[in-house]
Amino acid sequence: MNFSFKRVLAVIKIRNREFYRDLGALGWVILFPLIMVLTFGYIFDVDQGEQYKVGYWGNYTTPEIPHIQWVKYSSQEEALEKLKYQKIDLAITVGQKPAVLWSAAKSPKSKLAKEIMHLHLLPKHTSPFYEEQIEGRVLTYLDWVFPGIVNLNIMFMGLWGVGWVIVRQRKLGVLKRFKASPLTSFEYLLAQMLSRLIVMIASSVLVYGVANIMHPFNIEGSYLDLMIFFIAGSMALSSVGFVFAARMTSEELCNGILNFITYPLMFISEIWFSLEGSPEWVKLIANYSPLWQMTDSMRKIMYEGASLASLAGSLIYLIVFGFVFTLIGSLLFKWNKE
C-alpha cells in the first residue's frame, strides 16, 4: 500500500477531535504542569531545611557540616562552571592558604551556604577565608524546575497519550476496524505521533505563557533551538510509547508498565533535583534517558544561552533514539489482539 499523507491527516484530525472534546484530558494536560510549577516552585523556594552543595577539588577530608553536601570535582574550572550556573551553591579551594571560598554573586542560596560555612569552619582555621565571587544570573528553583516539569508532562502525554491510547483502541476493536481499511500501520503510528506533537506544543506554549506571567523567565538562548529540542525530545518520548503499545491488549498491564518506566525516568532525569553529588553510575544512566537529555539541553539553552552546535550530541541522541524506537514499534505493531 502506498503512503498517503491524506490518510495521515485524516487520523490526526479525528485524534485531535477526540482530545479536545475530552474536557477532562484537555484540562489535565494544561493544569498538571501549572499545578506542579506553582506547588514545587514556591514550596522549594521558601524551604529552609534544604541541603547546600559545596564543590571542592583535590585531596580534602570534608568535615561533616549540617545542611552542607560536599561534591568533588576534578578541577577548579569544572567546579566554578557548576557554580556559575548554580548547580552547586559554593566552591572551596583548600590546597592553599588562605582557603578560597567561591560564591555566586547574585544567589541567595549561595549567601546562606557561605554563612553556614563561616559558622562551622572559621574557628578551626588560623587564617580567614579569602573570598571570591563569580558573576552569574539569579536562578531560582522555579527557573530551574520549570523545563523539567514541562518535559515531565510531555513524557506523560507521550506515553499515555500515544501508548495507552493505542492499547485502548486495540482492546476496543478500533484498530481492527482500521485494519479493514487502506490505512497502514506506519500511517497510523505517524498520525498518532504528529497529533500528539501538536497537542504537546500547544499545551506547553500555553503553560509557558501562563507561568511566564506569574514568574517571568529570562531566556538567554534561542527560542528556535528550544523548539527544536522540544520536538526532538517529544518524538523520542512518544516513540517509547510505540514500543510498549505495539502488541499489548490490556490497559491495566499497560498502565503498570508505563508507571514502571516513568518513575525511574523521572528520578534519574534531574526533574526535581540536581544530580550533582549523586553517584557516577546514576549520572551515567541519566545520560541514556531521553527525558534527561531533553531537559538538560533545554535548561542550558534557557539559562546558559547554549547554542544548538554545543548541544549537537544530545540532539543527535534524541533523534536517533526516536527513530530507533519508532522503527522497533512499527515492526512489532499488531492491529488486533489475535
Partner 1 sequence: MSIVFEVKNLKKKYGDFLAVNDISFSIEKGKCFGLLGPNGAGKSTTIECIEQIIDYSEGEIFFEGSLVQEKTLANFGIQFQQTSLPAKLKVKEVLEFFSSLYQDARDMSELIELCHLTPFLNQYHDKISGGQRQRLLLAVALCHKPKLLMLDEPTTGLDPQARRNLWELVKRIKQEGTTVILTTHYMDEAFELCDEIGIMDHGKMIATGNPKFLLKETFETTVLEIPLEVISEEQVNSLSSDIHIGDRFFEVTVKDLNAALAKLAVLNLDLSGINIRQKNLEDLFIHLTGKDLRS
Which residue, 13 or 67, is less far from partner 1 as judged by CB?
13
* Size of the residue set binding partner 1 (CB under 8 A): 25
- Tell me whether residue 150 or residue 183 sits nearer to partner 1 (CB atom): 183
Residue 257: CB atoms within 10 A of its CB come to: 18
Name which of 9 and 35 has its Cβ closer to partner 1: 9
CA distance 47 to 51: 10
Interface of this chain with partner 1, residues 2 to 41, rule: CB under 8 A: 6-7, 10, 13-15, 17-18, 21-22
Nearest distance from C-beta of residue 202 to partner 1, angstroms: 18
For residue 8, the minimal CB distance to partner 1 (Å) is 10
Q: 250: which residues sit within 8 A by CB, 6+ positions away?
A: 167, 171
- Nearest approach, Cβ of residue 196 and partner 1 (Å): 15
Which residues face 90 on adjacent strands? 54, 103
- What is the smallest separation between the CB atom of 176 and partner 1, expressed in angstroms? 6
Rounded least distance, CB 49 to partner 1, Å? 47
User: What is the nearest approach in angstroms of partner 1 to the Cβ of residue 337?
Assistant: 10
Minimum CB distance to partner 1 smaller for 6 or for 124: 6
Among 47, 64, 135, 338, interactor with partner 1 by CB under 8 A: 338
Give residues 45-104 in contact with partner 1 (rule: CB under 8 A).
Answer: none
Nearer to partner 1, 22 or 131 (CB): 22
Three-class SS of the chain: CCCCHHHHHHHHHHHHHHHHHCHHHHHHHHHHHHHHHHHHHHHHHCCCCCCEEEEEECCCCCCCCCCEEEEEECCHHHHHHHHHCCCCCEEEECCCCCCEEEEECCCHHHHHHHHHHHHHHHHHCCCCCEEEEECCCCCCHHHHHHHHHHHHHHHHHHHHHHHHHHHHHHHHCHHHHHHCCCCCHHHHHHHHHHHHHHHHHHHHHHHHHHHHHHCCCCCCCCHHHHHHHHHHHHHHHHHHHHHHHCCCCCHHHHHHHHHHHHHHHHHHCCCCCCCCCCCHHHHHHHHCCHHHHHHHHHHHHHHHCCCCHHHHHHHHHHHHHHHHHHHHHHHHCCCCCC
Of 127 and 181, nearer to partner 1 (C-beta) is 181
Minimum Å gap between C-beta 177 and partner 1 is: 5
Specify the residue, 118 or 168, whose C-beta has the smaller distance to partner 1: 168
**Residue indicated by cell numbers 547546600:** 52
CA distance 285 to 137: 29
To partner 1, the closest distance from the beta carbon of 232 in angstroms equals 28
Contact 300, 306 (CB under 8 A): yes
Of the two residues 15 and 87, which places its CB atom closer to partner 1 in the complex?
Answer: 15
For 237, the grid coordinates are 518520548
> Closer CB to partner 1, residue 118 or residue 176?
176
Instruction: Report the residue from 52, 144, 244, 335 that binds partner 1 according to the rule CB under 8 A.
Output: 335
Report the nearest approach of partner 1 to the CB of residue 33 (Å): 23
- Contact set for partner 1, span 163-202 (CB under 8 A): 169, 172-174, 176-177, 179-183
Residues binding partner 1 (CB under 8 A): 1, 6-7, 10, 13-15, 17-18, 21-22, 169, 172-174, 176-177, 179-183, 335-336, 338
